[in-house]
Structure 1
Amino acid sequence: MRPHSREELDNKWKIIQHAALLSALVVCIVTIRIASSLLQWKRLSVPEYLLLFATAGSLALNGASIFVVDSGGLGHHIGNVSRAQLVYLFKFYFAAALLIPTCFATAKLSLLWLLHRIFAHSWFRNVVRVLAGVVVAWWVASIVQEVRICYPVETRWKGTCKGKHSLRTYLILPIPWIVTDWLILLTPLPVLWKNIDTRRSRATQVGLLTLFGLGIVTCCISIKRFIVQLKTNVDDLTFTLAEPTLWQMIDLSTTICCAALPGSTHTLKRMLPVDLLEQAVDWVERKWHATKQSSCTSRSVTAEDAEANLPPVSTLRHTQDPMSDPTSNQV
């Protein structure tokens, strides 16, 4: 299907570029995670298999998004899309509606499983179990709701399904995922804060802070995706779905990357110049302390100079004005 306007052409190339770049990024990060386990002579465990499943689903969604641009009219104005293309688009989005929450759930469960295995605090493990239960419960609810909202499912692309409830579900479903993103990000903070101390290397401290920063970015992307979905125009659905599709790819890819990075430290230490990083952080810290110390010294010298310039205090007794002395006799 050839684009009929500049906007449709831009949507097509945006989807192709985002799908290609994000797929390459996810494959690279997950490969580093798998290599980190293999370099330590460890067998792949449940977190790695969950990540591999999420990665496979993400690659399938990105590839299908490129294919549906021409076959389903994604990114084109609805007036330029045929009935057969609309049927194909709705079939794609039904499959995507089942696969997207599954990929999000497996990526988050992979991270929660890793956190449960790393930290031995009993209260923290209980919180992780609760969060895992919430993720699984909402994943099941999303799948059931998506299947039952238009039953039989053929009514979605036959045009006999009422669109109000379907659109409302499409807009509401991301909210619990955003909440769980922030909970997963904030829950480890008390434990991580205790680990950022002087006994840890500078590279470890910087790595923990970097992971926390990436988690914040992922949460912000989830919020942005939800805001973009709220702007979906039903009257020109095929065209306005292009931007939410882009942010869905970004959101899922960053979630998988953030779930894979905490277990990739063994490979990253070999790939990154850790010694140079520690030296750079130490140099910045020394410069900071030197600047702070010189600032304090200059303030103390200024205070001493000010005291030296004060007039000397006389030790003689001042004579008192007899008129102001209440005990003096009146003449």
Structure 2
Amino acid sequence: MEWADHGKRLFIWAVVMWALAAAAVMLRLISRGRILRVLGPTDWFIILTLLLSLINTIAIGFHVVHGLGHRIADLSWDEIRVFFQVVYGAVITNNLSLSLTKISVLLLFLDIFVLSWVRRVTYILIVLATLCGLFTLLSNILYCLPVSAFWDFTILDRRCIAVPFKYYVDAALNLTLDFAILFLPLPVIWPMTLPWRQKLWLYSVFVLGFFVCVISVLRFHFIDKSLLTSDPTYTGIYLIFWSMMEINVAIVIACIPTLKPLVARLCPRLLTTPRSCESDEPNELPQPPTISSPRRQPLSPEMQHL
């Protein structure tokens, strides 16, 4: 089958976005592994997420090969069956990668924050993100009984979860966790006294984090258009596009806070004040208060990725 124009553009976008996510993860590993030497579970989670995003990108290619972007009336029954087989696998990897990205960010918070109440809330969010991830994973795997009924419409004795309800619940849980993770650090970071360049760095990270929430809202909007339709192979392209964007942008943003040591090593003037640049030790970063205390004290290696 020839690739539809919409499908070609979607696949190109998917490859480009995955390449950006892979570059961000590579820079993160250099920053935390080679400079700080603090690689930990948060980094393994983000690597696993990147691998799942790669699987999702490959799945998009299979989608396009097997009818995505074409009208369903123009497809054979075999092409429709294969299309929904790919959808089944893609939905599982998509939701799993989003859950792992959230857990990776929350584990990074545990490396950064030492205030007890922030850590308690972070642990709670980790538990909630894990439970939500397990719920979406199991409900996606067992979406229909028997499982093959998801793509084999000749099975008459089939029991499936109500389509709109399932995806509304998944999207609502995902969006709620996105906003909770975005706003968790604000009460601590907002009152901090930092050089304006470091403040700009932090605020930029949160603006990008808000962008992920916007993408989640857009994906939520396209659920109606993609699911409540008689032509899923054509209109589903919008939902797949925003799902792909959400995964890869989330990976990039999860990596940005960890890149400060690398930026400080390569371009120290971007993160230092003019006074510190003129000091006897030009490569030394200013010593603002830590994220958990108003007192002035040197930053620990773990804190320097902020």
Common fold, TM-score beyond 0.5? yes
Amino acid in structure 2 at the alignment position of 1:226: F
CA RMSD of aligned residues (A): 1.9
Q: Judge which range, 166-175 or 217-226, deviates more.
A: 166-175
Provide Cα deviations, 1:120-179, integer angstroms capped at 9, x if missing partner.
000000000111111011111112212333111111111134677134313431111000
1:139-178 → structure 2 map (5 Å cutoff): 139-159=133-153, 160=155, 161=158, 165-178=162-175
- CA deviation profile, 1:252-290 (whole Å, cap 9, x unmatched): 1111111111112111233446349856xxxxxxxxxxx
Query: Percent identity at matched positions?
Result: 24
Unpaired runs of 5+ in structure 2? 275-306
Aligned to 1:186: 183
Match runs of 1:247-326 below 5 Å: 247-272=242-267, 274-275=269-270
* Higher alpha-carbon Rg: 1
Match of 2:52 among 33, 54, 57: 57
**Secondary structure of the corresponding residue to residue 154 of structure 1:** helix
- Pick closer, same or farther for the CA change 1:149–1:202 going to 2, 3 Å: same
Change (3 A) 1:164 1:51: closer
TM-score by length of 2: 0.83
Question: Which consecutive residues of structure 1, in runs of 5 or more, have no partner in the other structure?
Answer: 280-331
**DSSP-derived class of the 2:147 partner:** coil
Query: Quick one: structure 1 residues 29 and 81, their matched pair in 2 at CA, closer, same or farther if it must change by over 3 Å?
Result: same
**1:307 corresponding residue in structure 2:** none
CA distance in structure 2 between the partners assigned to 1:85 and 1:167 by the alignment: 24
Q: Distance in 1 between matches of 2:266 and 2:81?
A: 47
Equivalent residue number for residue 117 of structure 2: 123
What is the total number of aligned residue pairs between the two structures?
270
Bigger drift between 58-67 and 107-116 goes to: 58-67
Q: Which residue in the other structure is 2:294 paired with?
A: none
1:80 to 74, 87, 95: 74
Which residue in the other structure is 2:103 paired with? 109
CA distance in 1, matches of 2:64, 2:273: 47
Q: Which letter does structure 2 place at the counterpart of 1:2?
A: E
Q: Distance between the aligned counterparts of 1:174 and 1:131, measured in 2?
A: 17
Equivalent-residue separation in structure 2 for 1:168 and 1:272 (angstroms): 49
Q: Which residue of 1 aligns with 2:8?
A: 13
Cross-structure match for 1:96: 90
> Structure 2 CA distance, aligned partners of 1:277 and 1:67?
48
TM-score (norm 1): 0.77
Aligned counterparts of 2:90 and 2:150: Cα–Cα separation in 1: 13
1:182 and 1:86 map into 2 onto residues whose CA distance is 36
CA contact (8 A) 1:51 1:107 kept: yes
**Distance in 2 between the 1:243 and 1:162 partners?**
27
| Structure ranking higher in helix proportion | 1
* C-alpha deviation, 1:201, in angstroms: 2.6
Give me the whole-angstrom Cα distance separating, in 2, the residues matched to 1:76 and 1:14: 13
Equivalent residue, structure 2, for 1:235: 230
| Alignment-derived partner of residue 216 in structure 1 | 210
Mapped pair 1:44 → 2:39: yes
